[in-house]
Each structure stands twice: as C-alpha cells, then as structure tokens.
Amino acid sequence: MAAAKVNERNGCIDGPNNPMVTPLLTDLYQFTMAYAYWKTRKHEERAVFDLYFRKNPFGGEYTVFAGLEECIKLIANFRIAEDEIAFIQASLPPSCEDGFYNYLRGMDCSNVEIHSISEGYVVFPNVPLMRVEGPIAVVQLLETPLLNLINYASLVATNAARHRFVAGKSKLLLEFGLRRAQGPDGGIGASKYSYMGGFDATSNVAAGKLFGIPLRGTHSHAFVNSFMSPDEITDKLLYNYDGSHACEDFVSLARTWLRKLKRSHVLGGIFGETNQSELAAFTSYALAFPSNFLALVDTYDVVRSGIPNFCAVALALKDLGYKAVGIRLDSGDLAYLSCEARKFFQAIEKEFGVPDFGNTSITASNDLNEVTLDALNKQGHEIDAFGIGTHLVTCYAQPALGAVFKLVEINSQPRIKLSEDVTKVSIPCKKRCYRLYGKEGYSLVDIMIGENETPPKVGERILCRHPFNESKRAYVVPQHVEELLKCFWPGRSGKAREELPPLKLIRERCIKQLDQMRTDHLRRLNPTPYKVSVSAKLYDFIHFLWLNEAPIGELQ
C-alpha cells in the first residue's frame, strides 16, 4: 500500500490510498458498453446514475456510509494511462476502431458531477448515497470501482458500529483482524472503516501510519511459551519510575511478591505453585515495558497461574512507582474469568492497600462478535476492553452489502428499471434527498423529491409516501430539514466542492449520527424500520412511468 500520491493535474486531491484503484479496476463489460456508446455517438449523452442499496445488512435497520473519500480520489485522478489503453485494445475485439482509443486517451472526470451523502452518515435503503452525472461512457466505467469502494467500506463500518452499540460507550474496542482479513486491502480497509464506525484503535501498524489510527496491542502466547525458566533473564535491573534509584534484581522482587500473595489469607487459597516460566515471561515483559505492562494470562491456567503471576509482577512494578496496565484473557469463559480476575485485583487493593489496583484493566479476545458481546452483557462481566478480529473484519455475519448503480435519467429523460420483485424496481429521475427531523430532535423520515420540486420547509406539512406501497403514507411537519446529497465533485457546474474531512472527524460525525438515532432503530432484536419516502409528485411519476414501460400481458 503506497502512500497517497499528490495529484499533479489539479494539485489538490491525492490519488486513492490503494494503487490498485485505477480506471482498469472495473468489469470488462463497462469498456464494451463504452465502446458501443461511442460507436453509436451516444457516449457524450448526459446520464444520471444513483448508487444505493436495497436492504440494510446484519438484519439491522441502518447502515453507515463509508468509502466516499476514496471515490473522490479516484474521480479526481481518473486518467487512462497509455499502457492501460494498450491493454484495453488487446482485450477488445480487433474490429474496434482506433478512434475509440483516442477518445479514451482524452477521457477524465472533468465533466462529471458527484453529489453524495457525507461519509460517516447513517443511511437507509433506496436513498441514493451518491448521484453521479456525466457523459454516459465515462460514468458507466465508474460503476464497478465506485461500488467496490463503497460496498465493503460501508459494510465493515456498519459492522463496527453494531459491535460498538452492543459493547456500550464505556468499553475500549480494539480491532485485531489483520491476520484474518481478506488480503492486504481487506485488512487496511477493515482497520480504517472499523475506526470510522466507532472502534478506538487497531493493532494494524500500516493502518496506523496511513491514517493516524491509534495503535494498541498486547502480546501473544508465543511470548509466554518462549520462556522456559526465570534463569533466562540476565538483565534484572530496573530503575524506578522517576529514575532516582535502581532495583538490581527485579526478578527477585516479583518472586517476593508472589510469596506474599500466596501467604495471604484471602488469596493464598486460590492458587498454589504458579507456572514459573510464565512468571519469567511476565517479568521480562515488565522489564521491557515497565510503564505499559499488560500480560496475556491464559497460556497455562488463568486463575491458578496467570492472574497471580501478573499481580506479583504488577506489585513489584508498583514498588518502583509504575502502574501496570492489566491483563488479556483469550480463552475460556470470559465472563466468569473476568469476574474472578476483578475479585483478585480488588482483594489486593484491600489487603495490601494499593490504591486503584481493583480497577486494573481487563481485555478479552477470542472469536468475539455481536452475539458473544451480547451474551457477556447478559451474564455480567468485568471486561474493560474487547479485541475483535475475524468476525469484525471478514463481516462473518453478512459478507456483502449489495449496493447497486442504476441509470435514473438520460438526456433529461427519466428511466426506470422494472423487476418482478418490487423491492428491485429503481426509483427514476434526478432527485434531491432530505432528512426530516421531528420535535424531539430525532430524524423521522428521509424523502426523495424530483430535482425541480419545491424542497420541504421547516414548519410546512409535507406528504411522505412509501415509494411502492400505496397505503403507506404520512404527513410530516419537519422541525429541521437537512439536504443529504452535497456536491463533492462539481465537474463544470461551477458549484462549490465539499471538503473531504480527516478520518477522525468522520468518525466523530458517525458517532454523533448514531447518537441522534432513536434506539429502537438501532437495537439488535426486531429493530424498527426507518421510513424512506418519496414526495406525492414523485410517487405519481414513478407509477406513471412504471405503467408506461411495462408491457401489458395477454392471457389465452
């Protein structure tokens, strides 16, 4: 993954983060269609496409929109290089005329206009996330890369937001998925969009460098397993926190604390001989990171070895003025073990008078997902931080979002795609989209209207209709109206271009958006669907066009 390059052409928007995002990152049929448009001299006809999805993922009723910045970076840098043109020429039939390749040579997105919902917004089915307008051949080529950049990004951001919802705001959420992700780009994307969806940090160093995501981590079982005995620690010296004096033998100090713990009335009964190679591993990790000591305690036996060994080293550190961070549990019954660990820490705080030791942090990992987080909450647990990998980054519960890109207008003529399945009928016309807010500050409904219709106004009653179900309709008097589609790439329209905010701000926006949603839309079990509607005028037009385009069947 190369660092983002500076755009030489417009000097302001870098290229996509991933160098594989080029005009060739598309399906062959986009190029064959482009050729056919060109051959019939249709290629410059002005087309409007909507990018939207039909169903929220994970059985939920909301989605977090992500991936916009990469789309705009693609658009800003969209030029087909000479070697790419040669490859396209070799891939299309020899009968394709040379003029087409000259046309591709001059192709860019300077006449394409992109309106989009802002990245990090909570979004709903059928409302365009993005409206792409421009010469049909160019916009056709953009279908696949735009969908590619938005589908997984939005899916994983939504997955992260859902994990955050179950875990609760006070928990630290760490993304640990790189090793299980779908290749390098899956891993980088997962880290970026999990952070956007509300995770606090990642273990992925490359993502930390590329996007400034906070890096966090513990250590693995291999580190513990690698120690055979305390004799392996040769450098036992540790200066105290302020550097004023040295403890010559930190290993013995930790051993002394272990003996004290064993003699304690309360704790002594819990464990006997702990694993000494584990104690050696913890001691040497503390010598390496005295201010950031966190131990993985489940290699041998959490209660009889890992926790007492950790506490002995943590108390030795405390003697030298350091505060240990905590433990990680990576197997077994995480609810039970976290409660046992907390009791142990609290007993030490009481018996040895160590302030705040009871609050020592407990991190849990091991195949966690929404369901296990929910189960842990129901049982009661003492976990402060969750490290989540596989289920988060692979989107195990649902592997694809399914956003689509549909032609809604050409040469100012609205188009509709019909389907046997009503949910797959496209909503025609170049549209404006609004979010209407009610008295209590929550959003009530999203509404799509024709481009030239009068926008909804605060305090004015407007009829919101379900796009396809005649009987579903409601009057809304909005207290606040927000236009959703903003201009992120003005083309030649002369409109102002929305800025692309830094990742941290998008993350904050996402958290704020979710805070502003009614929790019944967010809950895991039987969430309430959010209403998505069209104006009365657009409703009538959709159904007029539908009847116009659908052939009448004949029964015999």
Ligand X SMILES: O=C(O)c1cccnc1
Ligand Y SMILES: O=P(O)(O)OC[C@H]1O[C@H](OP(=O)(O)OP(=O)(O)O)[C@H](O)[C@@H]1O
Between 166 and 368, whose beta carbon lies closer to ligand Y? 368
Between 388 and 503, whose beta carbon lies closer to ligand Y? 388
254 contributes a contact to ligand Y by CB under 6 A: no
Q: Smallest gap, in angstroms, from Cβ of residue 53 to Mg ion?
A: 32
Q: Which of residues 330-349 bind ligand Y (CB under 6 A)?
A: 330
191 contributes a contact to ligand X by CB under 6 A: no
Name which position in 359, 390, 398, 479 contacts ligand Y (CB under 6 A): 390
3-state class (DSSP) for residue 47? strand
Q: Smallest gap, in angstroms, from Cβ of residue 203 to ligand Y?
A: 8
Between 96 and 388, whose beta carbon lies closer to ligand ATP? 388
Name which position in 118, 151, 202, 203 contacts ligand X (CB under 6 A): 203
Determine the residue with CB nearest ligand Y. Answer: 389
Q: Smallest gap, in angstroms, from Cβ of residue 367 to Mg ion?
A: 6
Q: Residues 6 or more apart from 69 whose CB is under 8 A from it?
A: 119, 500, 506
Name which position in 176, 293, 322, 345 contacts ligand Y (CB under 6 A): 176
- How far apart CA 504 and CA 58 sit, in angstroms, is 25
Q: Smallest gap, in angstroms, from Cβ of residue 249 to ligand ATP?
A: 34
Joined together, the tokens standing for residue 118 give: 């802002």
- How far apart CA 387 and CA 163 sit, in angstroms, is 11
267 contributes a contact to ligand ATP by CB under 6 A: no
Q: Which does 180 bind (CB under 5 to 8 A by kind): ligand Y, ligand ATP, ligand X, none?
A: ligand Y
Joined together, the tokens standing for residue 359 give: 């609050």
Q: State the binding string over 358-377 for ligand ATP (x if CB under 6 A, else -).
A: --------xxx---x--xx-
Point out which residues pair with 215 in neighbouring strands. Answer: 202
Q: Smallest gap, in angstroms, from Cβ of residue 18 to ligand Y?
A: 23
181 contributes a contact to ligand Y by CB under 6 A: no
- How far apart CA 144 and CA 166 sit, in angstroms, is 33
Q: Smallest gap, in angstroms, from Cβ of residue 334 to ligand ATP?
A: 4
Name which position in 10, 91, 102, 220 contacts ligand Y (CB under 6 A): 220
Q: Smallest gap, in angstroms, from Cβ of residue 58 to ligand Y?
A: 16
Determine the residue with CB nearest Mg ion. Answer: 366
Sheet arrangement for strand 130-135:
413-414, 404-410, 46-52, 130-135, 113-116, 486-489
3-state class (DSSP) for residue 202? strand
- How far apart CA 43 and CA 139 sit, in angstroms, is 10
Contact between 142 and 387 (Cβ < 8 Å):
no
Q: Which does 379 bind (CB under 5 to 8 A by kind): ligand Y, ligand X, ligand ATP, none?
A: ligand ATP
Q: Residues 6 or more apart from 362 whose CB is under 8 A from it?
A: 326, 327, 328, 329, 338, 341, 342, 382, 383, 384, 385
174 contributes a contact to ligand ATP by CB under 6 A: no
3-state class (DSSP) for residue 45? coil
Sheet arrangement for strand 431-437:
473-476, 462-465, 531-534, 443-450, 431-437, 480-483
331 contributes a contact to ligand ATP by CB under 6 A: yes
Q: Smallest gap, in angstroms, from Cβ of residue 317 to ligand X?
A: 20
252 contributes a contact to Mg ion by CB under 5 A: no
Q: Smallest gap, in angstroms, from Cβ of residue 326 to ligand Y?
A: 15
Q: Which does 527 bind (CB under 5 to 8 A by kind): ligand X, Mg ion, ligand ATP, none?
A: none
Q: Give DSSP secondary structure letters for 460-505.
A: --EEEE-SS-TT-EEEE--SEEEE--EEEE-TTS-PPPPP---HHH
Q: Which does 375 bind (CB under 5 to 8 A by kind): ligand X, ligand ATP, Mg ion, none?
A: ligand ATP
Give the number of residues written for the chain.
556
Q: Which does 132 bind (CB under 5 to 8 A by kind): Mg ion, ligand X, ligand Y, none?
A: none
Listed as own residue / partner, the contacts of 270-274 with beta carbons closer than 8 Å and 24 or more positions apart are 270/303, 270/304, 270/308, 270/344, 271/303, 271/304, 271/305, 271/307, 271/308, 272/304, 274/304, 274/305, 274/308, 274/309
Q: Smallest gap, in angstroms, from Cβ of residue 338 to ligand Y?
A: 15
Sheet arrangement for strand 361-364:
201-202, 172-175, 385-388, 361-364, 326-329, 294-296
- How far apart CA 537 and CA 453 sit, in angstroms, is 8
363 contributes a contact to ligand Y by CB under 6 A: no
Name which position in 176, 195, 285, 293 contacts ligand X (CB under 6 A): 176
Q: Which does 516 bind (CB under 5 to 8 A by kind): ligand X, ligand Y, Mg ion, none?
A: none
Joined together, the tokens standing for residue 99 give: 């003029």
Residues contacting ligand ATP: total by CB under 6 A = 12
Q: Which does 218 bind (CB under 5 to 8 A by kind): ligand ATP, ligand X, Mg ion, none?
A: ligand X
Joined together, the tokens standing for residue 43 give: 């290629």
Kindly state the helix (H) or strand (E) to which residue 317 belongs, with its residue range.
helix 307-319
Between 318 and 391, whose beta carbon lies closer to Mg ion? 391
CA angle 298/301/306 to nearest 5° reads 65
Q: Smallest gap, in angstroms, from Cβ of residue 83 to ligand X?
A: 39
Contact between 190 and 402 (Cβ < 8 Å):
no
Q: State the binding string over 385-424 for ligand X (x if CB under 6 A, else -).
A: --x-x-----------------------------------
367 contributes a contact to ligand Y by CB under 6 A: yes
Q: Give the phi and the psi of residue 358 in degrees, each rounded to 5.
A: -60, -25
Q: Smallest gap, in angstroms, from Cβ of residue 174 to ligand ATP?
A: 15
Q: Smallest gap, in angstroms, from Cβ of residue 154 to ligand Y?
A: 21
Q: Would you tell me which residues interact with Mg ion (CB under 5 A)?
A: 366
Residues that bind ligand ATP (CB under 6 A): 331-335, 366-368, 372, 375-376, 379
Positions that interact with ligand Y (CB under 6 A): 176, 179-180, 220, 330, 365-368, 387-391
Catalog residues that contact ligand X under the rule CB under 6 A.
Answer: 176, 203, 217-218, 328, 365, 387, 389
